[in-house]
Structure 1
Amino acid sequence: MSDVYLVKKGIYATLAYAFIMSITAVAAKQVQTQIAVPVLVFWQSLFCVLVLLPQMWGKWERRPKAVVKAHFLRSFGGFTGFLFYYWSLNHIPLVEASLLRSCAPLCVPFVVLIMHRVMVPKARWLPLVIGFVGVALVINPTPDHFNPWHIVGFLSAVGLAFSMVTTRLLSSHVSSQETMLVYFVISALLSLPLALIQGESLALPSSTWFWVLLVSVTLYVGMFLYTLAYTYAPASVVSPVSYVGIVFAGFWGWAIWGHVPDALAISGTVLIFVSVFLSAQISRKKV
Structure 2
Amino acid sequence: MLDDNELLKKGIVMTIAYAFVMSLTALAAKQAQTMIAVSTLVFWQSVFCALVLLPQMRGRWKKRPLSVWKIHFLRSFGGFIGFLFYYWSLNHIPLVEASLLRTCAPLCVPFVVLILHKIRIPKARWLPLIIGFVGVAFVIQPTPEHLNPWHIIGFISAIGLALSMVTTRMLSHQVSGQETLFVYFLVSTILSVPLMLVQGDSFLLPVAVWLPVAVVTITLYVGMYLYNLAYTYAPASIVSPVSYIGVVFSGFWGWVVWGHVPDIFAILGMLFIFSSILISTRMARHRG
TM-score strictly above 0.5: yes
The structural deviation recorded for 1:144 is 1.8
Q: Which residue of 1 aligns with 2:136?
A: 135
The alignment-based identity, stated in percent, is 68
Aligned pair count reads 287
Within 2, Cα distance between the matches of 1:118 and 1:102? Answer: 23
Residue identity matched to 2:230: A
Q: Which residue of 1 aligns with 2:3?
A: 2
Q: Which residue of 1 aligns with 2:159?
A: 158
Within 2, Cα distance between the matches of 1:153 and 1:261? Answer: 16
Within 2, Cα distance between the matches of 1:121 and 1:66? Answer: 27
The structural deviation recorded for 1:143 is 1.8
Within 2, Cα distance between the matches of 1:238 and 1:229? Answer: 7
User: Once the two structures are superposed, what CA deviation does each residue of 1:167-196 show, in whole Å capped at 9, x if it has no partner?
Assistant: 001111111111000000000000011110
Residue identity matched to 1:60: W
Within 1, Cα distance between the matches of 2:42 and 2:128? Answer: 33
Q: 4+ runs of 1 displaced by more than 2 Å?
A: none
> Which stretch shows the higher mean deviation, 2-11 or 81-90?
2-11
Residue identity matched to 2:123: K
Q: Which residue of 2 aligns with 1:126?
A: 127
**Pairs within 5 Å for 1:193-204:** 193-204=194-205
Within 2, Cα distance between the matches of 1:103 and 1:132? Answer: 9
Within 2, Cα distance between the matches of 1:244 and 1:136? Answer: 20
In structure 2, the gaps of 5 or more residues are: none
Q: Which residue of 1 aligns with 2:87?
A: 86
**Pairs within 5 Å for 1:53-132:** 53-132=54-133
Within 2, Cα distance between the matches of 1:56 and 1:152? Answer: 34
Q: Match of 2:183, SS?
A: helix
Q: Which residue of 2 aligns with 1:170?
A: 171
**Pairs within 5 Å for 1:1-287:** 1-287=2-288
Residue identity matched to 1:133: V
The structural deviation recorded for 1:84 is 0.2
The structural deviation recorded for 1:122 is 0.8
Within 2, Cα distance between the matches of 1:71 and 1:82? Answer: 17
The structural deviation recorded for 1:58 is 2.3
The structural deviation recorded for 1:2 is 1.2
Within 2, Cα distance between the matches of 1:143 and 1:194? Answer: 31
Within 1, Cα distance between the matches of 2:277 and 2:209? Answer: 36
The structural deviation recorded for 1:234 is 0.7
User: Once the two structures are superposed, what CA deviation does each residue of 1:114-171 show, in whole Å capped at 9, x if it has no partner?
Assistant: 0000000111100000000000000011222110000000000000000000000111
Within 2, Cα distance between the matches of 1:3 and 1:64? Answer: 37
Let me know the Cα RMSD of the aligned residues. Answer: 0.6
In structure 1, the gaps of 5 or more residues are: none
The structural deviation recorded for 1:64 is 1.5
